């Protein structure tokens, strides 16, 4: 069970901790390589493990329910 995950809608990148992917039971082979670093506000560069496309579900019950694939 994933208890909480923060997604900053104003950010160009959403970073999730590896433990979140373990809790979601997403295997490492699902990640696609990304060789460019992320650059923070301070200018510090950080390497990342890769990226993944996940389905996100919004709404409750038909016809309000929708699933969108997000990179």
How do residues 21-58 score in pLDDT, each as one tens digit?
888 888 888 889 988 888 877 888 888 888 888 888 88
Number of domains in the chain: 1
Confirm whether 26 is domain-assigned.
Answer: yes
Token pair 């208890």 is at which residue?
A: 3
Confirm whether 49 is domain-assigned.
Answer: yes
Find the domain containing 30 and state its range.
18-70
Confirm whether 25 is domain-assigned.
Answer: yes
Confirm whether 39 is domain-assigned.
Answer: yes
Whose CA is closest to 51, among 35, 64, 67? 35
| Residue 71 pLDDT class (50, 70, 90 cuts) | confident
- Global model pTM greater than 0.75: no
Q: What is the pLDDT of residue 56?
A: 82
């Amino acid at each position: 069970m994933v208890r909480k995950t923060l997604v900053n809608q104003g950010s160009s990148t959403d970073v999730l901790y590896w433990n979140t992917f373990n809790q979601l039971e997403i295997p490492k082979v699902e990640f696609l390589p990304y060789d460019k670093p992320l650059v923070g506000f301070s200018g510090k560069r950080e390497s990342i493990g890769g990226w993944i496309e996940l389905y996100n579900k919004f709404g409750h019950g038909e016809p309000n329910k929708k699933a969108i694939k997000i990179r």
